Amino acid sequence: MTLIAVMGIMVIFATALLAVAPTVMHDVQREKELESIRRGEEVARAIEAYVIYHRGAKLPESIDELLEGLPMGTKQRMILRPSAATDPLSEDGKWRLVQPEPQLIANLAKRIQDYNNGILPSNPTQVFDRWAVVIVNNVTMPDESAAAEPDPDYEVVTDNVPFIGVASQSRSKSILTYYGAENHSKWIYTPLFKGSGTSRFAPPRPPTPVRPPGF
């Protein structure tokens, strides 16, 4: 009888664990996404500092350049923490570098504008004006399908190209939304758009229930 009672308790315990597991996984994934957003926005601020220092004439070409910092007298000023150089959502931890391609920037601007009630946050400084011209010329385009960036077949580049932002290599559907996007690969962190004053986070969706086989 004791053995049967122990087995019964183990079954109840196992059932309870199975019931809690989806919630735990949901919370773990949500925290990873929040951390990825924090780090991505820190990278965006580092890019901004780098571009301002070079008076808009140069973009960084690797995350290592941001980690090296910027000259300050005889020392180097840190603009990016080592932890922020790693994306918790990518398998290898490397950020995908987002190059300053006009159509990609315009698509991103269009999505942010739609999410922000028709208002596009202004550029932080005049050194970004060259990209602002591209945005003004393309953001009002009638083709709404263009806002579905990035293309599923985009090339993942993690080094040795001039970049204006970063994004995760993960193509998974997200729990959180970032500027209305529900896919990690569409979360582009760039200094081009700042100061909206609008919350960037939507309430997390509950986990999708898993149906038993046969339903």
Q: What pLDDT digit, counting tens, does each position of 89-142 carry?
A: 999 999 999 988 887 888 888 888 888 887 777 666 777 766 655 555 554 444
Q: What pLDDT digit, counting tens, does each position of 25-68 carry?
A: 878 899 999 999 999 999 999 999 999 999 888 899 999 999 99
Query: How much is the pLDDT for 10?
Result: 72
- 212, pLDDT greater than 50: no
- 146, pLDDT greater than 60: no
Query: How much is the pLDDT for 26?
Result: 79
Q: From CA 166, how far away is CA 36, in angstroms rounded?
A: 11
> 43: which 2 tokens?
């990278």
What's the mean pLDDT when you consider all of the chain? 77
> 147: which 2 tokens?
């806002």
Give me the mean pLDDT over the 10-34 stretch: 73
Q: What pLDDT digit, counting tens, does each position of 150-159 carry?
A: 444 567 787 7
Which 3-state string (H, E, C) describes the chain?
CHHHHHHHHHHHHHHHHHHHHHHHHHHHHHHHHHHHHHHHHHHHHHHHHHHHHCCCCCCCCCHHHHHHCEEECCEEECCCCHHHHCCCCCCCCCCEEECCCHHHHHHHHHHHHHHCCCCCCCCCCHHHHHHHHHHHHHCCCCCHHHHCCCCCCCCCCCCCCCCCEEECCCCCEEEEEECCEEEHHHCCECCCCCCCCCCCECCCCCCCCCCCCCC
- 88, pLDDT greater than 90: yes
- 206, pLDDT greater than 50: no
